């Protein structure tokens, strides 16, 4: 059981006065991530199912004694909902120190988001891409800040099919999930490079602006939570059945949340960015996950699909 549980976050870092957003915090890994971070500071649970999220938040408040666990509506399958969430958040909160892009879908039958994106790509990648874009300036202003993207070991089986991003020519629900998790890794890699690039450009301009850039440093890292017994596989009867049979060999949601918490709070990661973690330690990234040209192309295409300019 201890072997299956994997790495544990040992940091006792507190988050008093800091604000954390966890997407998909109403169940599974997201709920346990929110629970752990609520023991340290203020948590905003950004969820599609508000009723379920309120029940989870009530449980977390009662257990931790922290009344600053707040539920906000966020449907990552609808860019209008994402924009409304960001607009309300920016109007109500003056700071944002940690953004955990945790929510996701897995093994969905073929379907599309409100905006016409294939569901895995739309929710797991494009939804969080847009959310991060809308909140990035607040993260920079709240210095130092962290972006944590929950990816998966499944990214090893993914590839970015630019000729058929939305699976209209061919579709396999398992591969669609893998493709979206690879997109998470590539997004993290390119985002980290761009954030570092902004800092270097500031240094080359004036020393004064260099110090300002240091003060608004934002890191971005991705992670694999492990194989977790959660509701994520609910769209596949076969996998749900197998999960129940082999549950002893799977992590609990609490164990699966450890690397997310580690990436969010560990002091030794203060200046670490663009990396991929598993079991609270650096992990191997597939060659496709290290392809800078693909990362740049995916970034450009994501901006085009979302109708945004993010240079």
Enzyme catalytic residues: 177
The b/e string for 48-62 (b: 16+ C-beta within 10 A; e otherwise) is bebeebeebbeebbe
Nearest of 253, 264, 258, 248 to residue 278 by alpha carbon: 258
Task: Report how far residue 208's alpha carbon sits from residue 216's, in angstroms, rounded to the nearest whole number.
Answer: 13
Tell me the C-alpha distance between 121 and 177, whole Å.
8
Residues near 88 by Cβ (< 8 Å), separated by ≥ 6?
72
The secondary structure of 245-268 as a DSSP string is: HTGGGSB-HHHHTHHHHHHHH-GG
Residue 100's nearest CA partner among 226, 278, 221 is: 221
DSSP state of 92: H
């Amino acid at each position: 059981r201890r072997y299956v549980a994997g790495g544990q976050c040992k940091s006792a870092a507190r988050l008093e006065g800091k604000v954390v957003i966890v997407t998909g915090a109403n169940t599974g890994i997201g709920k346990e991530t929110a629970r752990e971070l609520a023991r340290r500071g203020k948590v905003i649970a950004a969820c599609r199912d508000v009723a379920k999220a309120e029940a989870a938040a009530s449980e977390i408040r009662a257990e931790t004694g922290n009344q600053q666990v707040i539920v906000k509506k966020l449907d990552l399958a609808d860019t209008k909902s994402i924009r409304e969430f960001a607009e309300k958040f920016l109007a109500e909160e003056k700071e944002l120190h940690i953004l955990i892009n945790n929510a996701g879908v897995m093994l969905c039958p073929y379907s599309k988001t409100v905006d016409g994106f294939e569901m895995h790509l739309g929710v797991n990648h494009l939804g969080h891409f847009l959310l991060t874009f809308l909140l990035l300036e607040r993260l920079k202003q709240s210095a130092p800040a962290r972006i944590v993207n929950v990816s998966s070991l499944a990214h090893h089986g993914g590839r970015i099919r630019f000729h058929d991003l939305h699976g209209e020519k061919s579709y396999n629900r398992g591969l669609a999930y893998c493709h979206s998790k690879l997109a998470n890794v590539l997004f993290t890699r390119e985002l980290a490079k761009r954030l570092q690039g902004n800092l270097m450009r500031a240094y080359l301009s004036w020393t004064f602006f260099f110090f300002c850039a240091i003060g608004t440093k934002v890191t971005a890292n991705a992670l694999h939570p492990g194989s977790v017994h959660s509701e994520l596989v609910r769209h596949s009867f076969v996998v749900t059945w197998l999960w129940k049979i082999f549950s002893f060999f799977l992590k609990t949601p609490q164990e699966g949340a450890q690397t997310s918490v580690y990436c969010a709070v560990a002091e030794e990661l203060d200046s670490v960015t663009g990396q991929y973690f598993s079991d609270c330690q650096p992990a191997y990234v597939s060659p496709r996950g290290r392809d800078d040209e693909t990362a740049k192309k995916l970034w450009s295409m994501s901006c085009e699909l979302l109708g945004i300019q993010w240079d």
